[in-house]
Amino acid sequence: KVIRDAFESASEFDLGEFKDSKPHHVSADHPLVKTLQKVYEGQLGKKADLISIGGGTYARSLKAGVAFGPLFPGRPDSAHQKDEYIEIDD
């Protein structure tokens, strides 16, 4: 309450409320994941090892959404960094 009152009395600040979203999990047996895995393996001829990463993703806003395939083994991880890129061949 004290912090809220201090911020509300200072015109150069805007105080908002934020909520954390629930953990997001889609089973490896889900049809969407199975389809993505099949396409990945068919196109690359390599086994698609399914992994889970920490952090938030746009997929949390979907019931069965997943982020899939943008980082290939042996490639530098430039995701969310300055000059983010992916190889054209990938």
Confidence at residue 69, expressed as pLDDT on a 0 to 100 scale: 67
- Judge whether 27 lies within some domain: yes
Confidence at residue 52, expressed as pLDDT on a 0 to 100 scale: 77
- Judge whether 29 lies within some domain: yes
DSSP for 30-52? SHHHHHHHHHHHHHHSS------
- Judge whether 79 lies within some domain: yes
pTM across the whole model: 0.62
- Judge whether 3 lies within some domain: no
Q: Which of 43, 49, 39, 42 lies closest to 71, judged by CA? A: 49
- Judge whether 33 lies within some domain: yes
Confidence at residue 54, expressed as pLDDT on a 0 to 100 scale: 66
Tokens of 61: 């806003």
User: Mean pLDDT for each consecutive 10-residue tract of the chain (90 residues)?
Assistant: 74 73 85 93 89 72 77 83 87
Containing structural domain, residue 41:
20-90
Number of domains in the chain: 1
- Judge whether 15 lies within some domain: no
- One-letter amino acid of 61: S
- Judge whether 44 lies within some domain: yes
- Judge whether 61 lies within some domain: yes
